[in-house]
Homo-oligomer: A and B are copies of this chain.
Amino acid sequence: MEGPDAKGLIYHVTKVLYKNECNVIRQDEYVSPSGQFFMRTEFESADELNPEKVLQDLRTRVPDERIRFRTNAKKKKDVVILCTKEHHCISDLLTRFHFNELDANILAVVSNYDVLEPFVSKFGIPFHTVSHEGLTREEHEEAVFKAIEPYQPEYLVLAKYMRILTPNFVEKYPNKIVNIHHSFLPAFIGANPYRQAYDRGVKIIGATAHFVNNDLDDGPIIAQDVKRVSHRFTAKDMSREGKDVEKTVLTKALKLVFNDRVFIYGNRTIIL
């Protein structure tokens, strides 16, 4: 739950759970310097839980809060992956999904090229090629949207999808699109960040997973990681090493998102 801080919020929530015979397994709170209160509470119930009643009780005690309430029934998130030609992120996700280690169901893969179709098909997942050639950006997005929509995904994962999305498209999936950016944001925004990193002679490169809002490179950051490089690394070497970081960071961010551990607050994330 999330909302303006007030006295007794934890008390009120834990009282409701206590009265409903629920046992708190894990609870984390955070109050921002600006006075916004965030809390994530995992609880279990030995008896048959009546989620409707718990939620109703909660609303009585913390009426003006934004409460997100989930029963365990549906655990894995449904996702559609968008990609272009690079395989390093999607192959890691597909492998984890194949071995049942991803907290999500990959329903389909949509790409503007067919390059990865043979690989994706090995995993028995539908692959939709929606070429952008000869189409305006809007027309292409409309076609992509039509490919995605039948799957009714809870999240879109941009696993190296190299096209910029319009605000119009992004608004259809508010706070539901996760992108992996090939740079330690906010450094090196834009195209060819590894060439920029080489030219600048940096000693560390990185990658950033973030939600997509209107500006492709500028949504709330979920996870970042870095890797040391040296003068011996060419721009191509940096790109190759950077891919390993991108893969790791995207997987880590998705794990947090799929486990409902990420709150968005302005342009920042709170991870509880």
Q: Which residues of A contact B (CB under 8 A)?
A: 7-8, 10-11, 14-15, 17-18, 21, 23-33, 87, 91-92, 95, 98-99, 101, 119, 122-123, 184-188, 199-204, 206, 220-226, 230-232, 234, 240, 244, 248, 267-271
The 8 A-B pairs of least Cβ separation, nearest first, read A201-B268, A11-B14, A187-B187, A8-B18, A11-B18, A203-B224, A122-B122, A10-B14
- A222: chain B residues within 8 A (beta carbon): 203
Can you spell out 30 A-B residue pairs with CB atoms less than 8 angstroms apart?
Answer: A7-B18, A7-B23, A10-B27, A11-B14, A11-B15, A24-B29, A25-B31, A26-B29, A30-B231, A32-B231, A33-B234, A87-B99, A91-B95, A95-B95, A184-B187, A184-B204, A185-B187, A186-B187, A187-B187, A200-B221, A200-B267, A201-B221, A203-B224, A204-B206, A204-B224, A204-B225, A206-B226, A226-B226, A231-B271, A244-B248
Contact indicator B226/A201 (Cβ below 8 Å):
no
Assess the B87–A267 pair: CB atoms within 8 A: no
Task: Give the distance to chain B from A237, nearest Cβ to Cβ, in Å.
Answer: 10
Of the residues B21, B202, B232, contact of A221 by C-beta under 8 Å: B202
Tell me the smallest distance from the CB of A268 to a CB of chain B, in Å.
Answer: 3
Contact A231/B269 with A11-B18, A224-B202, A226-B226 known, Cβ cut-off 8 Å: yes
Number of copies: 4
- Looking at the complex, which one of B17, B187, B248 makes contact with A11 (CB distance below 8 Å)? B17
Given A184-B204, A206-B204: A199 touches B10 (CB 8 Å cut-off):
no
Q: Are B200 and A231 in contact (CB under 8 A)?
A: no
Tell me whether A202 and B185 are in contact (CB under 8 A).
yes
| C-alpha spacing A206/B91, complex, angstroms | 24
